[in-house]
Each structure stands twice: as structure tokens, then as C-alpha cells.
């Protein structure tokens, strides 16, 4: 009896693992405005899941993201699956991933969605969600598949401006368009400034017109 009690938690974990459904997960990607980025779709199999293909609808904000293309990922190429998609409406795309074979799919990236980030997109996360996701096994029968949303995180265009900079620092790199001369009493000796920068390696020194300033990068 004692041995069975000790084995009960382990048996419970094994039962849960076998009951876990396969999951299709959209990636979480950081991006700058007016750039092209790739969001991967990853298939994660659990237990005895056997998936030979799937289809589903993808939703996103069309004012922030525009679809460029969708291509098969390495896990789809390995099993000779192809990607087909069509635009249902703005921000709504239907995706089918299947092949003229009975090959079962593996864990990994099954598709790559390429988006263009609009130049006027607000900073923050732009959700990528799923709807009506269904899957099939090698014989065309139904297979269990759930979906997990992802997002494109649009980086802030500028940080809070440095007191001596008329423009801020971009989220992916420091810049200074104009630097105003600092008050005489606030001028820091070069040696002391260099020492301070060594203590804070995430700050970048900016020089323009004989004056010095620095701003924090992300």
C-alpha cells in the first residue's frame, strides 16, 4: 500500500503528460516601426499526438501590421508539408499547412509569418491571435490541436529626452541631432565622466560641437 501511495503522484504526472494536447504557438517578436519582421509559428506535441496537417484563421491589427508572406518552417519542410493562405479580410488570414502525404509532423517551427510594421504604429504589443484551428491525423481523421496567441512588440521611438538633448534616444540605438552647451557650473571633467561611463556600460557617450552628453540605450 505504501509503495502505491508513493507512486500515485508520478502516475498522475504521467497521465497529465499523456493528456496534453498539441499546441500551435505564435512567436513574441520585438520590432521597430517601418521594418519587416518574421513571427514564427511553433508546433509543440504532447503525449501521443499525431498531426499530419492543420488549418486555422489568424487575426492581427491591419493598421499596425500588414502581411507580406507566409512560408513553411523547418519542421514543415522536413515532413514535406506546404503552406497555403488567403486573405479573408483586412487583418484576417486563413492558413492551411498540409501535404500530399501521410507524414506526421514534428516539434518545431512549422511556418514563418512575415509582417511589415507601419510607420505610424503606436508603441506596445500588437496581438496575433488564432481562431477555428483544426488538425488532422495521417488518415484524415480529427486530431487535437490548441493555439496560443503571440505578439509583435513595437519598440518606443524615443526615450525621455536627455535634459541637454533636443531629441531623445531611439530604443535600439542612441542618437543626438542637436546638443545644447551645458551650463558652465555643470561641466564634468573628462576623466570623471569616463569613470562614470565605465561604471554604467549601458550608456553611450555622444559628442557634437565640442560638447558632451550621454543617454541610456535599451
In the chain the domains, ranked by start, together with CATH numbers, are: 21-154 (2.60.40.680), 157-218 (no CATH)
143-161 residue pLDDT tens: 999 999 999 999 987 543 3
Phi, psi of 183, rounded to the nearest 5 degrees? -60, 145
Q: What is the pLDDT of residue 20?
A: 64
Q: In which band, very low, low, confident or very high, does the pLDDT at 139 lie, cut at 50, 70 and 90?
A: very high
* Run of H or E including 87: strand 82-89
pTM of the model: 0.65
66-98 residue pLDDT tens: 999 999 999 999 999 999 999 999 999 999 999
Contact 94, 86 (CB under 8 A): yes
CA angle 82, 43, 31 (to 5 degrees): 90
Amino acid at each position: 500500500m505504501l509503495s502505491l501511495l508513493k507512486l500515485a503522484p508520478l502516475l498522475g504526472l504521467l497521465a497529465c503528460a499523456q493528456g496534453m494536447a498539441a499546441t500551435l504557438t505564435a512567436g513574441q517578436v520585438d520590432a521597430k516601426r517601418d521594418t519587416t519582421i518574421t513571427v514564427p509559428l511553433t508546433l509543440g506535441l504532447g503525449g501521443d499526438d499525431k498531426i499530419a496537417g492543420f488549418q486555422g484563421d489568424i487575426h492581427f491589427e491591419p493598421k499596425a501590421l500588414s502581411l507580406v508572406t507566409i512560408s513553411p518552417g523547418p519542421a514543415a519542410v522536413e515532413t514535406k508539408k506546404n503552406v497555403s493562405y488567403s486573405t479573408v479580410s483586412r487583418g484576417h488570414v486563413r492558413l492551411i499547412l498540409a501535404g500530399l502525404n501521410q507524414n506526421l509532423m514534428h516539434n518545431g517551427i512549422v511556418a514563418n509569418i512575415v509582417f511589415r510594421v507601419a510607420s505610424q504604429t503606436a508603441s506596445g504589443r500588437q496581438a496575433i491571435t488564432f481562431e477555428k484551428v483544426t488538425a488532422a491525423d495521417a488518415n484524415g481523421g480529427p486530431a487535437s490541436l490548441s493555439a496560443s496567441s503571440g505578439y509583435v512588440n513595437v519598440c518606443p521611438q524615443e526615450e525621455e529626452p536627455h535634459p541637454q538633448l533636443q531629441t531623445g534616444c531611439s530604443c535600439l540605438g542612441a542618437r543626438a541631432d542637436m546638443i545644447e552647451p551645458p551650463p558652465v557650473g555643470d561641466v564634468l571633467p573628462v576623466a570623471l565622466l569616463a569613470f562614470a561611463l565605465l561604471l554604467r556600460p549601458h550608456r553611450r557617450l555622444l559628442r557634437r560641437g565640442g560638447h558632451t552628453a550621454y543617454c541610456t540605450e535599451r
